[in-house]
A and B are shown apart, each in its own frame.
Chain A
Amino acid sequence: MVPHAMHEVPPESITKVVSGIVTRYHGEKRHLMRMLQEIQAVYGYLPREALEELSRLTGIPLVDILTVATFYHQFKLERPGYYIILVCMGTACHLKGNLDNYEAMRSFLGLGKYEKTAKDGTVTIEKARCFGACSLAPVVMVVSRDGKERYLHGHVTLQEARRIVAKYRALALRKMRGEK
């Protein structure tokens, strides 16, 4: 289920990263959400191995960790694409047709019913909660999976939506090639 993770995350690094985080929070259950946020800040998502290591080091049952990880929307259990395209599902954006934009983007990438990420790992398309930029509805926000880049696009039309997907896909390809 997590093929990307297996290739991208060296196992030695997981122990080092997680134990560093656990030490800082004394492994206390009350800091569970924060520890998970820090793990996600490193990998861009929560690798299963990291959660298992977290459970091992803190003694918090894995089921409790997964309860929190699957409950809150911010946590991702699958590695996202280089860019994550967030389509705002706020009221104003919905009334201005953002659902059509969402479908158009997915169709443009040829995503299957339960797929969210393009097969080449460039972009992920997700529905997002309201950003509070309602005057620019319909709004689409694009963030890089390392959290460093953030771009907000307003007044997005169907054509613009497709252009956004194409643009960030191309950008991701260039950056990913540069990465290697």
Chain B
Amino acid sequence: MTWSLMDKCCDRCWHSPEYPCRHYIRCRLNGPLCHEDPECRKKRENRLREIMYGKYGFKIKVPMASCTIAAGAREVYDAVIKEVKSRGIRVDVRKTGCMGMCYIDPWIELVKEGMPAAIYANVKPEDIPKIIKEYLEGDVSGAFALRYRTGKAKGEDKVPLLEELEPWKNQVRWVSRNCGIVDPESIEEYIALGGYRGLDRALNMKPEEVIEEIRKSGLRGRGGAGFPTWLKWKIAREQPGDVKYIIMNADEGDPGAFMNRLLAESDPHRVLEGMIIAAYAIGASKGFIFVRAEKPLMAERLAKAVEQARKYGLLGENILGRGFSFDVEVILSAGAFVCGEETALIAAIEGRTSPRQRPPYPATRGLWGKPTIINNVETLAHVATIMAEGWEKFVKYGTEKTKGTKMFCVTGSVKRTGAYEVPVGTTIEKLVMEIAGGPPEGRKVKAVQIGGPSGGCIPASLLSTPIDYETLQKAGAIMGSGGIVVIDDHSCMVDVAKFFTSFTVAESCGKCFPCRIGMKILYDTLEKITNGEGTEEDIEILEELGDVIRSSSLCALGGTAPNPVLSTLRYFKDEYLAHVRDKRCPAKVCTRLVEYWINPEKCTGCGTCAKNCPANAITGEPGKKYVIDPSKCIRCGRCYITCPVGAVEKR
């Protein structure tokens, strides 16, 4: 077995989880600390080099995260293994996580000592032999980007540096620094890049001092509410009693948000480290990681990290000999968006359902009646990083009210879908147009949906709004967990509102009247409008009902559920009016308000449409062109979805 940084350098080292050495973490990189021995020191240095460049000075990294695997990373990995085996190449092939630039998935990275580390984008298994061959010949001209130049490779002046690229240079990779670089299943690599320094430093301080450091950093919860993290911890710390819990909320449920998944799959030890620090600060001895059932790889990676941390004494009894004991259990949720809400999450762990009225807040009375802190994955990643780097570095970024950086997932109508980390206060425009590249050719940005189904739509005219909790709230949206969906001129805002409303209706727990009944009526009214049966009175109903649901619901799910409707009414009233007054959908999306037409150039005369038409509105003969009679057409859209060649068009 290869000697790892985590192992003892020689027999003079006596560390084990049962008899922990206080200096264990620092010793991993700077050791040996308890004795002088150039051999031991060399051993560590060599191992560090091996981690950087691989056993043989040559390493190929294949990112294996949910998004890259979906794009075909497993096949690429297999192709790499096949190629190196068949050519007998001595190389270290390792998995990494995803760096967030989903539009280049699957990508791989080749790094050889002396050569620039080269990233290749949108790789197919059949490209592998060529990529490896060229790289070994010292040629990087086919690369997408380089991490650095060495002056020794062919074509390296023509290939841009990663940090020169538009999507990269505007980012500040504070918590995502390791994503796409380390093997997420290796605690050793995390430590090699300085991991667990934060925990080491925290355990050298008193818990109150840790809370003070987080207070100075101004860290606000990154899960959506933006509550000051230090304050929540302080309240829990000051509660009487010995039993306290900490829960990592990994139930990222917002459709279109995958920052937490990315962090947990690519750098799980960072978030775990943050959790251990948080537990120390509040005095918790047991923690739970609550992961969404729909993201199984996330749960796997976190569970593995927990196992490894336990193995080396970073979890368990008397961690690093500081008298602090803490352990973690990973729990898979069974699928409910409302579980992102604190009290519902607690209910799920307890084997019940539904949120409850707050106060009392979980920090005073939570899981099984004990003080419980629930922190988001990204918040905990920040905690670990702040403790390692110091609060002074954190406050360099951000705004007056909100310091630091935040990860955002930009999806929808953009050229470069991905997860990006930027300082808080960055404008929406910069994120969407510069970093994510703006909409594809021929499309224009109409609105930007921020905060998922709890958030609101901000029109294109307000793109210069800086992203911060208060500024977004004023504009009618919320920060939420950071999911940003770009909506272009091919989408109907009423349909978008209806979509989010249908989501909340399905996810409503059903406990309180305003949300359970009100949201359904909101949805039914929107359906009426998109079916062409709406009136102006219906729009008034939406406004009033939306406000009542927002202000009287029991939990934040109901409290934010009407936001998509209210914000689209605020900025896109004209679209609603077109639907009710003119019975027309300007974006040509709403099935019943759209005219269906068979494009004679595409029609193959198969007659499938006519067979499926419930109104007998389509005439034609097999082999000849078919035609829809608009006077008979009931606009059900069946022809559109059943045509095998896509000849039915909307106009």
Contact = CB atoms under 8 A, between A and B. Distances in A.
Contact of A130 (B254, B637, B640, B644): B254
B290 to A, nearest CB: 11
Nearest to B258: A132
A43 B229 CA distance: 43
Given A135-B411, A136-B71, A159 B644 contact: yes
B578 interface: no
A67 B485 contact: no
B580 to A, nearest CB: 22
A32 B351 contact: yes
B485 A136 contact: no
A9 interface: no
B351 to A, nearest CB: 4
A6 interface: no
A31 B642 CA distance: 46
A100 B637 CA distance: 9
A162 interface: yes
A133 B67 contact: yes
Interface in A53-85: 67-68, 71-75
Contacts of A29: 351
B631 to A, nearest CB: 24
Interface in A73-103: 73-75, 89-95, 100, 103
Interface string A110-142: 000000000000000000111111111101000
A101 to B, nearest CB: 8
A36 interface: yes
Contacts, number: 144
Contacts of B499: 91, 94
Contact of A159 (B294, B452, B646): B646
Interface string B470-507: 00000000000001010100010000100110010000
Contacts of B348: 33, 72
B353 A71 contact: yes
Interface string A137-160: 101000000000000101001110
Interface stretch (B112-120, B188-196, B301-309, B334-342): B334-342
Nearest to A162: B644
B612 A107 contact: yes
17 contacts: A31-B351, A32-B351, A68-B353, A74-B333, A95-B485, A95-B491, A100-B640, A104-B641, A107-B612, A107-B638, A108-B642, A129-B253, A134-B102, A134-B417, A135-B417, A136-B70, A159-B646
Interface of B: 66-67, 69-71, 102-103, 105, 252-258, 261, 293-295, 331-337, 348-354, 368, 409, 411-413, 417-418, 449, 452, 483, 485, 487, 491, 496, 499-500, 503, 509, 612, 637-638, 640-646
